[in-house]
C-alpha cells in the first residue's frame, strides 16, 4: 500500500474503532483501544505532512474519479491541521484517563467511543475535498461532541449541551443550505470542481446567498462573536478532558473549513466583492475585546479560558480578514499555536479540578505551593497566550502585527495590543492568587497530580516554547499553505 | 579565567552563567551558606567573563553570533558593541557588589523565601546581559520582556496587599509599553527596513518619511517604559515595594538602564544621528524628556519616603540620558553613555544606604533621619557622596557626565537643554542636601526604639565600595569615555 492508500485511515481508524469501543466493558480496555486508534491516526497524518507539503495528495473513494465520487485531498493546510488534531488527541489521552475516571466513573466504553467519533469527524472534515462530505463529518463530530459535553457532572452540563446542540444544528443547517445552493448552481460538490465552476455563476444572487449562508453557518461553529454564546457554557460544563480536546480542535476545524471555502472554493476575488473583509475584521476585533473583557470577570478558570477562546477566535478571524498571504498565514499559525496554549491551560486547570474538585478563581489561592509543577505549567502556557517572546503565542502576534502593519491598519494593531494586555489581567488573577495569596484556612493538604497528568501537560508547554523559537514547521507550513490557498483558482 | 579563544562562546557563557547560577541557587536553598557562596561565585565569574570581552570588542572584528532564527530572515542574534560592553561590565560588577549587600540585607532583615529571591535575581541579570548583547531589535525585545517578567516575583516578594498592588502597576505599565507601543514599533521597523539589526549609521534613512519617523521614534521612546519617560514612569515608584537590593540594582541600574540603553541603541543604530537630525518632530521628545527631568524632581521634593524620593530622582536622571541622546550632538551622546555609568554608581549607593538605614533602624522616612549620621557615619557619608553625584558636584561621577552633556548642548546650541540642566541641578540640591543636613547637623529628636549602630558589615562594605567608586570615577573615567566615543566613530 502506498502513502495515499493509507490516507483514509486517518479517519477510518477512529471511525471503525468507535463501535467496538462502545461495547467494551470496564475502564482499561476502551481506553487502550482508543489509544491505538488515535495513535494510528496520528502516525499516518504525521507521515502525510512532509509529502503533502511537496504536492497535494488525492485519494478517490471507491475508485470513483473525483468530480463524481468523494475525494480526499490533502495539501499543506489540511495536513498541518490533521497532524495538529490527531497529535492533540494523542497527547490528551494519557492525561484523560485519571480525569475521566474521576468525572465519568461509569460506562466509559461509550464515552471513549464518542471521543473517537468526534475525532473521526474532525479528521474527516479536514481531509475531505467534498463540500457535502464536510457536512456529514461536521454532523458526526458535532453530535458526538454534544453527547460528550452532556457527560459533565454538573446539572449545567445538560443545559449547555442542549444549547450547543441548538446552535450547532443551526450552524450545520446554514452550511448545508449554502452547499445546496452551490450544488443547484454548479451541479458539483467537489471543492476543486466548485472552484472551477463558481466564477461562471459568481454574479448570481444564489451564489452570493450561498456564501452568506456558509459563512454564518461556519461562524456559529467557530464561535465567532456574536455567535459565540454556546461556547463558554459548553467548555465550562463539559468534563475537563472533553474541554481540553474541544478547545484545541473543534473551533480550529471550523476555521479550516471557512478558509477552505473562502479561499479554496469561492476564491479571494469573490470574497473581495462581498463585504467579507469589513464584517470579519469588525467582528474579529469585537470578539477580541469582548471575549477578553468578559474573561476578566468570570468566576471560574474554565469559563475564563472559554471566553479567552472567543477572543482568540477573534484574532484568527481578524488575521484572515486581511485577505493577504501574510494575514492568512498569521491566522493559520494561530490556529496551531492557540491549540497548543489552550490545550496546556485547560490541562492545568483540569489537573486542579482533579485534585480540588473546583476551579473557582479564589480556590487557586496558595496553590503554587501545593501544586508547583501544574501552576508553573499554567503560568508558562499563560505567557504564550499573552504573546510573550520566545513562545508560540508571540510568533502568532508578530505575524499578525506584521500583516496588519503591511496594510497600514493601525486600529488592528491597537486591538491586538489591547488583547494582550487584557490577557495579562485575566491570567494575572489566577497567577496572583496562586503565588501571592495564602491558602484558605481549612483546606486540607493538596497533592500534586501524578506523572501521567504532568507529562502531557509539560509536553504541550514545551511545544509552546519550541514553536516559539523554531517556526519552520508552524509558520513555515502556514505560509506555504496560505500561498497555496490564495494562489489556488480562481 | 582561560584566555579568550572564541569571543562568541564567551558571549553565550555570559547568558548561561547567571542562568546556571539561578539553577544552582534554587537547588541549594536548603543550605543558605552554600547558596550564597554559589551566588557570589557566579557573580564574580560573570564579571570576569565580561572583562574578557573588552579586548575582542574593542580591537577585534566585533563579537557576533546567531542563536536561532524564529522568523525567516530575522534571527535571535548577539552582537556586542562598545555601548553594550559598558553595560555588561557595569551590570555584572554591580551584581557582584549587590550580592554581597543582599546577603547582609536579607539575613539582617530575616526575609522569607530568600532562595527564589536570589534565583530570580540571577535570571534578571541574565536577561540584562541579553539586552546588553542583543544584535537586533527582536533579540533586545525578547530579553527586555524576560527582564520584565523575571523581576515581577522580586517586586511582589513581600506578598502583602502593597506588594500585590505594586506588582500590578509594575507589570501593567511595563507591558502596556511593550505590547502597545514597543512591539508595534519593532514590527513597523522590520516592515519598513527589512531588517532590525543594529547597524552603525542606522537602517531607516531613506526608507521612511520624516513624519512617520517621528511617530516611530515616539513609539520607541514611550514604549520603552523602562526608561520611565513621563507618562510611562508610574511603574518605578510602584516597584519600590520590593526589598532594597532589588531597588538598588534592578530599579536603579539594570532594569532602568536597559530602558535608556534601548533608546540609545535605537537612536544611534536604528535611526542614526544624521537621519534623526532631519526629523523635525524629534524636538517634541526633547521637550518631553526635559519636562520629565524637571517635574520628576519637583515631585521628589515632596516625597517623605526615602525610597520613593530616590525613585523619582531616578526618573529624573533617566530622562537626562534620553534628553542627551536626543540632543543629537556627539558630545551629548558620549555624555548619555557616561551618565549610564555615573548615575549607576551614585544611585546604587543611595539605595544601599536607604536599605542599610532600614535594616539597622527600620526607618523609611526622611523626617526620621535627624541625627542618624552619628549612629551610622559610614552609611551617611556614602549617602552624601551619592547625593553630591546626583547634583553633579565635583569630585563625583555625576559631574563628569553632566560636563559632557552640557558640552553637547553647547555643541548643538541647545539653550532649552541647558536651562533644564541648570534648573534640575538646583532642584536636586533642594531635595538631597536637606537629608544630608538632617543626618549630620540635627539632633535626634527622640531616642530610637532600638539602640542601633551601622547595618551588618556586608552592607557597609558594599555601600562604601560604591561610594568610593563614585568618587574614583571622577578621576578614572577615561576608559569609559574612550569606549563610548568609539560608538560614534563606528557609527560615523
Q: Inspect the interface and report whether the beta carbons of A405 and B184 lie closer than 8 Å.
A: yes
**Beta carbons within 10 angstroms of residue B28's beta carbon:** 17
Burial of B284 (0-12, 13-18, 19+ CB in 10 A): middle
CA B380 to chain A, closest CA, distance in angstroms equals 35
Is A389 at the interface with chain B, CB within 8 A?
A: yes
Give the mean pLDDT of chain B: 87
pLDDT (0 to 100) of residue A288: 93
Enter the C-alpha cell of residue A489. Answer: 483558482
Whether residue B180 and residue A383 make contact (CB cut-off 8 A), yes or no, is: no
Distance in angstroms (rounded) separating the CA atoms of residues A172 and A363: 38
Closest chain B residue to A379, measured at CA: B149
> What cell does A299 get?
468566576
Residues in chain A: 490
Cα-Cα-Cα-Cα torsion B325, B327, B331, B336, nearest 10 degrees, comes to: -20
Measured CA to CA in angstroms, residue A97 lies from A5, A147, A243, B364 at distances of 32, 18, 14, 55
- CB contact under 8 Å between A436 and B156, yes or no, is yes
Query: Is A102:A132 a contact under the CB 8 Å cutoff?
Result: no
Across the interface, which of A388, A413, A421 has its CB nearest the CB of B149? A388
**pLDDT bucket at B281, cuts 50 / 70 / 90:** confident
Write out chain B residues lying below 8 Å of A389, CB-based: 138, 141-142, 145-146
CA distance B395 to B407: 18
Average pLDDT over residues B276-295: 88
Dihedral in degrees, nearest 10, Cα atoms B476, B478, B484, B488? 160
Which of A 10-29 lie inside 8 A of B, CB atoms? none
Which pLDDT value is given to residue B79?
A: 86
How confident is the model at residue B61, as a pLDDT? 67
- Encode pLDDT of B355-367 as tens digits: 898 888 888 888 8
B139: part of which helix (H) or strand (E)? helix B137-155
Strands B63-71 and B74-80: antiparallel
Exposed/middle/buried for residue B69 (C-beta within 10 Å: 0-12, 13-18, 19+): middle
Q: Reply yes or no on whether the pLDDT at B309 is more than 50.
A: yes
B205 CB near a chain A CB, below 8 Å? no
Does the structure show a pLDDT above 50 at A39?
Answer: yes
The cell for B1 is 579565567
Position B137 confidence tier, pLDDT thresholds 50, 70, 90: very high
For chain A, say whether B145 makes contact (Cβ under 8 Å): yes
Closest CA to B307 of B357, B354, B262: B354
- Is A437 at the interface with chain B, CB within 8 A? yes
B180–A contact, CB cutoff 8 A: yes
Q: What mean pLDDT is predicted for residues B443-465? A: 81
Q: What per-residue confidence (pLDDT) applies to A487?
A: 76
Q: A206 — contact with chain B (CB < 8 Å)? A: no
Answer whether A288 touches B (CB < 8 Å): no
Paired strand residues for A128: A72
Give me B368's grid cell. 526620621
**DSSP label of B233:** -
Cα-based angle A301, A302, A308 (whole degrees, multiple of 5):
90
CA A178, chain centre distance (Å): 23
Residues whose CB falls within 8 Å of the CB of residue A329, separated by 6 or more in sequence, listed in order? A399, A403, A475, A478, A479, A481, A482, A483
Contact B82, B484 (CB under 8 A): yes
Is residue B141 within 8 angstroms of chain A, CB to CB?
yes
- B419, B288 Cβ separation under 8 angstroms: no
Q: Is the pLDDT of residue A10 over 90?
A: no
pLDDT band at A68 (very low <50, low <70, confident <90, very high): confident
Q: Is the per-residue pLDDT at B492 higher than 70?
A: no
Taking 3-state DSSP, the helix, strand and coil percentages for chain A, each rounded to the nearest 5, stand at: 80, 5, 20
In angstroms, what separates the C-alpha of A79 from chain B's closest C-alpha? Answer: 21
Question: Closest approach of chain A CAs to the CA of B276, in angstroms?
Answer: 22
Burial of A279 (0-12, 13-18, 19+ CB in 10 A): middle
User: If 0-12 CB within 10 Å is exposed, 13-18 middle and 19+ buried, where does residue A283 land?
Assistant: buried
Q: What is the DSSP letter of B363?
A: -
Instruction: Tell me the pLDDT tens digit for each residue of B380-419.
Output: 999 999 999 999 888 888 899 899 999 988 888 888 989 9
Per-residue pLDDT, averaged over B334-344, amounts to: 89
User: Which pLDDT does position B384 carry in this prediction?
Assistant: 92
Instruction: List the Cα angle B119/B123/B129 in 5-degree steps.
Output: 145
Inter-chain touch B70–A471, beta carbons under 8 Å: yes
**Does the distance separating the beta carbons of B167 and A388 come in below 8 Å?**
no
CA dihedral B353, B355, B361, B363 (to 10 degrees): 100
**In this complex, do A402 and B184 lie within 8 Å of one another by their Cβ atoms?**
no
Contact between chains at A389 and B142 (C-beta distance less than 8 A): yes
Indicate the DSSP class of residue B179. Answer: I
Give residue B204's pLDDT. 85
- Residue ranges of alpha helices (H) inside A187-239 are 191-201, 205-221, 230-237
Cβ-contact B328, B412 below 8 angstroms: yes
| CA atoms lying within 13 Å on the CB side of residue A116 | 30
* Contact across the interface for A402 and B191, Cβ inside 8 Å: yes
Interchain contact, B183 vs A428, CB within 8 Å: no
Q: What sign has the CA pseudo-torsion A37, A43, A49, A52?
A: negative
B149 contacts chain A (CB < 8 A)? yes
Q: Nearest residue on chain A to B75, judged by CA atoms?
A: A469
Instruction: Please provide the distance, in angstroms rounded to a whole number, between the alpha carbons at the two ends of chain A.
Output: 34
DSSP code per residue over B81-140: -HHHHHHHHHHHHHHHHHHHHHHHHHHHTT-S-HHHHHHHHHHHHHHHHHHHHBSBHHHH
A and B: number of Cβ contacts within 8 A? 71
Which residues of chain B lie closer than 8 angstroms to A417, CB-CB? 179-181, 183-184
Q: Bridge partners of A269? A: none
Q: Which residue of A has its CA nearest to B176?
A: A421
Strand partners, B136: B197
B33 touches chain A (CB under 8 A): no
Contact (CB<8Å) A414/B76: no
What region does A67 belong to: left with phi over 0, alpha with psi -120 to 50, or beta? alpha
Distance from CA of A318 to the nearest CA of B (A): 17
Q: Which residues 151-170 of A have a C-beta within 8 angstroms of B?
A: none
Q: Which three cell numbers stand for residue A174?
A: 446554514
Q: Would the CB atoms of B180 and A421 count as touching at under 8 Å?
A: yes
Q: Which residues of A touch B70 (CB under 8 A)?
A: 395, 468-471
All cell numbers assigned to A467: 514553536
Quote the pLDDT of residue B475.
Answer: 87
Give dist(CA A86, CA B450) in Å, integer: 68
Q: Which of A366, A395, A401, A476 to mutate to test the interface with B (most CBs of B within 10 A)?
A: A401
DSSP helix/strand/coil, A445: coil
Q: How far from chain centre, in Å, is Cα B458?
A: 22
In angstroms, the separation between the Cα of residue A427 and the nearest Cα of chain B is: 12
Largest CA distance in chain B: 68
pLDDT surpasses 50 at A200:
yes
C-alpha–C-alpha distance, residues A272 and A324, integer Å: 11
Q: Which ipTM score applies to this complex?
A: 0.88
From the DSSP assignment, how many helices (H) and strands (E) are in chain A? Answer: 21, 2
Q: How far apart are CA A340 and CA A459, in angstroms?
A: 10
Other C-beta atoms lying within 10 Å of the C-beta of residue B478: 8
State how far the Cα of A148 lies from the Cα of A459, in Å rounded to an integer: 25
Sequence-separated (6 or more) residues with CB below 8 Å from residue A460: A91, A340, A341, A343, A344, A347, A381
For residue B145, the model assigns a pLDDT of: 93
Give the rounded percent of residues in chain A with a pLDDT score beyond 90. Answer: 44
SS3 of residue B191 by DSSP: helix
CB A400 within 8 A of CB A296: no
Closest CA to B341 of B476, B448, B445: B476
Q: Work out the average pLDDT over A181-200.
A: 88
Does B490 score more than 70 pLDDT?
no
Per residue in B9-18, pLDDT (tens digit) is 888 888 999 9
Q: Quick one: pLDDT band at residue A400, thresholds 50, 70, 90?
A: very high
CB proximity A470 to B under 8 Å: yes
Q: How distant is the Cα of A413 from the closest Cα of chain B, in angstroms?
A: 7
Residues A437-472: tens digit of each pLDDT: 888 888 878 888 888 889 999 999 999 999 988 888
pLDDT at position B2: 45
Mean pLDDT of chain A: 89
Res. B91: pLDDT tops 50: yes
- Point out the residue among A405, A417, A437 whose CB comes nearest to the CB of B179: A417
User: How far apart, in whole angstroms, are the C-alpha atoms of residue B333 and residue B484?
Assistant: 8
Q: What is the distance between the alpha carbons of residues B464 and B452, in angstroms, rounded to a whole number?
A: 19
Give the DSSP per-residue string, A69-108.
S-EEEE-HHHHHHHHHHHHHHHHHHHHHHHHHHHH--S-H
The pLDDT confidence band at residue A85, using thresholds 50, 70 and 90, is very high
**Segment B219-256, tens digit of pLDDT:** 999 999 998 888 889 999 988 888 888 888 888 888 99
Cβ-Cβ contacts under 8 Å, A406 against chain B? 191
B405 Cβ contact partners less than 8 Å away, ≥ 6 residues apart: B320, B323, B324, B327, B331, B332, B335, B336, B339, B417, B421
- Inter-residue contact B101 to B121 (CB < 8 Å): no
**pLDDT band, very low/low/confident/very high, at A392 (cuts 50, 70, 90):** very high
> Which residue in the set B164, B175, B187 is minimally distant from A436, CB to CB?
B164
**Chain B CB within 8 Å of residue A414 CB:** yes
Amino acid at each position: 500500500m502506498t502513502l495515499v492508500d493509507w490516507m483514509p485511515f486517518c479517519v477510518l481508524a477512529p471511525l471503525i474503532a468507535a463501535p467496538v469501543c462502545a461495547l467494551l466493558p470496564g475502564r482499561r480496555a476502551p481506553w487502550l483501544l482508543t489509544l491505538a486508534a488515535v495513535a494510528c491516526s496520528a502516525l499516518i497524518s504525521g507521515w502525510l505532512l512532509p509529502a503533502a507539503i511537496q504536492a497535494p495528495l488525492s485519494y478517490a473513494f471507491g475508485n470513483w474519479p473525483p468530480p463524481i465520487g468523494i475525494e480526499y485531498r490533502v495539501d499543506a493546510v489540511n495536513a498541518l491541521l490533521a497532524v495538529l488534531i490527531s497529535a492533540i488527541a494523542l497527547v490528551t489521552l494519557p492525561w484523560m484517563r485519571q480525569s475521566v475516571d474521576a468525572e465519568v466513573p461509569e460506562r466509559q466504553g461509550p464515552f471513549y467511543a464518542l471521543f473517537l467519533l468526534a475525532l473521526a469527524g474532525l479528521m474527516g472534515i479536514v481531509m475531505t475535498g467534498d463540500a457535502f462530505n464536510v457536512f456529514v463529518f461536521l454532523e458526526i463530530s458535532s453530535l458526538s461532541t454534544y453527547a460528550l459535553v452532556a457527560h459533565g457532572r454538573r446539572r449545567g452540563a445538560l443545559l449547555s449541551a442542549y444549547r450547543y446542540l441548538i446552535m450547532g444544528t443551526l450552524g450545520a443547517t446554514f452550511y448545508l443550505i449554502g452547499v445546496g445552493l452551490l450544488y443547484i448552481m454548479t451541479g458539483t460538490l467537489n471543492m476543486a470542481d466548485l472552484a472551477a465552476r463558481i466564477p461562471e455563476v459568481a454574479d448570481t444572487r444564489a451564489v452570493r446567498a450561498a456564501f452568506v449562508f456558509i459563512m454564518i453557518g461556519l461562524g456559529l461553529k467557530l464561535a465567532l462573536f456574536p455567535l459565540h454564546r454556546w461556547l463558554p457554557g459548553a467548555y465550562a460544563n463539559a468534563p475537563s478532558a472533553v474541554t481540553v480536546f474541544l478547545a484545541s480542535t473543534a473551533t480550529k476545524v471550523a476555521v479550516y473549513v471557512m478558509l477552505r471555502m473562502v479561499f479554496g472554493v469561492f476564491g479571494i476575488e469573490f470574497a473581495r466583492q462581498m463585504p467579507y473583509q469589513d464584517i470579519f475584521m469588525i467582528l474579529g476585533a469585537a470578539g477580541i475585546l469582548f471575549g477578553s473583557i468578559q474573561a476578566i470577570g468570570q468566576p471560574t478558570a474554565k469559563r475564563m479560558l472559554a471566553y479567552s477562546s472567543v477572543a482568540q477566535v477573534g484574532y484568527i478571524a481578524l488575521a484572515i480578514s486581511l485577505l493577504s498571504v501574510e494575514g492568512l498565514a498569521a491566522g493559520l499559525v494561530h490556529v496551531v499555536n492557540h491549540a497548543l496554549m489552550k490545550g496546556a491551560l485547560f490541562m492545568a486547570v483540569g489537573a486542579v479540578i482533579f485534585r480540588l474538585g473546583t476551579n473557582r478563581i479564589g480556590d487557586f489561592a496558595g496553590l503554587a505551593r501545593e501544586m508547583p509543577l501544574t501552576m508553573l505549567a499554567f503560568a508558562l502556557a499563560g505567557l504564550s497566550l499573552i504573546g510573550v517572546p520566545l513562545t508560540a503565542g508571540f510568533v502568532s502576534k508578530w505575524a499578525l502585527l506584521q500583516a496588519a502593519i503591511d496594510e497600514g491598519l493601525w486600529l488592528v494593531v491597537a486591538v491586538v495590543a489591547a488583547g494582550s494586555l487584557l490577557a495579562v489581567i485575566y491570567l494575572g488573577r489566577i497567577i496572583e492568587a496562586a503565588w501571592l495569596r495564602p491558602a484558605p484556612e481549612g483546606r486540607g493538604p493538596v497533592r500534586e497530580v501524578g506523572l501521567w497528568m504532568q507529562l502531557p501537560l509539560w509536553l504541550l508547554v514545551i511545544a509552546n516554547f519550541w514553536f516559539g523559537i523554531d517556526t519552520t514547521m508552524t509558520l513555515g507550513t502556514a505560509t506555504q499553505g496560505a500561498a497555496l490557498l490564495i494562489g489556488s483558482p480562481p | 579565567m582561560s584566555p579568550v579563544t572564541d569571543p562568541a562562546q564567551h558571549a553565550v557563557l555570559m547568558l548561561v552563567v547567571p542562568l546556571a547560577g539561578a539553577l544552582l541557587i534554587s537547588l541549594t536553598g536548603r543550605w543558605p551558606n552554600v547558596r550564597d557562596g554559589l551566588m557570589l561565585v557566579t557573580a564574580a565569574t560573570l564579571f570576569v567573563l565580561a572583562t574578557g570581552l573588552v579586548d575582542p570588542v574593542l580591537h577585534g572584528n566585533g563579537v557576533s553570533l546567531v542563536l536561532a532564527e524564529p522568523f525567516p530572515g530575522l534571527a535571535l542574534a548577539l552582537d556586542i558593541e562598545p555601548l553594550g560592553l559598558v553595560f555588561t561590565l557595569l551590570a555584572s560588577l554591580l551584581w557582584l557588589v549587590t550580592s554581597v549587600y543582599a546577603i547582609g540585607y536579607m539575613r539582617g532583615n530575616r526575609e522569607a523565601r530568600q532562595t527564589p529571591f536570589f534565583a530570580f535575581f540571577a535570571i534578571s541579570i541574565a536577561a540584562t546581559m541579553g539586552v546588553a548583547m542583543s544584535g537586533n531589535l527582536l533579540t533586545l525585545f525578547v530579553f527586555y520582556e524576560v527582564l520584565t517578567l523575571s523581576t515581577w516575583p522580586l517586586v511582589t516578594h513581600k506578598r502583602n496587599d502593597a506588594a500585590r498592588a505594586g506588582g500590578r502597576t509594575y507589570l501593567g505599565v511595563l507591558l502596556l509599553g511593550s505590547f502597545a507601543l514597543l512591539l508595534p514599533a519593532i514590527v513597523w521597523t522590520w516592515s519598513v527596513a527589512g531588517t532590525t539589526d543594529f547597524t552603525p549609521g542606522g537602517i531607516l534613512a531613506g526608507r521612511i518619511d520624516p513624519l512617520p519617523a517621528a511617530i516611530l521614534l515616539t513609539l520607541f521612546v514611550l514604549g520603552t517604559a523602562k526608561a520611565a519617560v513621563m507618562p510611562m514612569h508610574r511603574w518605578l515608584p510602584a516597584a519600590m515595594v520590593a526589598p532594597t537590593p532589588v531597588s538598588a540594582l534592578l530599579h536603579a541600574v539594570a532594569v532602568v538602564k536597559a530602558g535608556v540603553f534601548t533608546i540609545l541603541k535605537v537612536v544611534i543604530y536604528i535611526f542614526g544621528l544624521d537621519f534623526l537630525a532631519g526629523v523635525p518632530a524629534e524636538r517634541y521628545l526633547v521637550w518631553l524628556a526635559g519636562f520629565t527631568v524637571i517635574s520628576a524632581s519637583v515631585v521628589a521634593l515632596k516625597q517623605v519616603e526615602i525610597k520613593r524620593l530616590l525613585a523619582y530622582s531616578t526618573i529624573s536622571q533617566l530622562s537626562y540620558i534620553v534628553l542627551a541622546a536626543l540632543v543629537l550632538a556627539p558630545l551629548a551622546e558620549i555624555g548619555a553613555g557616561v551618565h549610564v555609568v555615573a548615575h549607576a554608581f551614585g544611585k546604587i549607593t543611595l539605595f544601599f544606604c536607604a536599605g542599610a538605614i532600614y535594616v539597622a533602624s527600620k526607618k523609611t522616612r526622611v523626617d526620621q533621619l535627624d541625627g542618624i549620621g552619628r549612629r551610622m557615619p559610614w552609611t551617611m557619608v556614602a549617602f552624601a557622596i551619592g547625593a553630591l553625584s546626583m547634583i553633579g558636584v565635583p569630585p563625583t561621577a555625576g559631574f563628569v557626565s553632566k560636563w559632557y552633556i552640557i558640552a553637547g548642548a553647547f555643541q548643538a546650541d541647545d539653550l532649552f537643554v541647558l536651562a533644564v540642566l541648570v534648573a534640575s541641578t538646583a532642584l536636586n540640591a533642594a531635595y538631597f542636601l536637606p537629608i544630608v543636613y538632617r543626618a549630620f547637623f540635627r539632633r535626634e529628636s527622640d531616642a530610637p526604639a532600638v539602640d542601633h549602630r551601622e547595618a551588618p558589615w556586608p552592607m557597609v562594605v558594599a555601600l562604601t565600595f560604591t561610594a568610593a567608586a563614585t568618587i574614583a570615577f571622577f578621576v578614572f573615567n577615561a576608559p569609559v569615555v574612550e569606549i563610548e566615543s568609539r560608538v560614534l566613530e563606528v557609527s560615523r
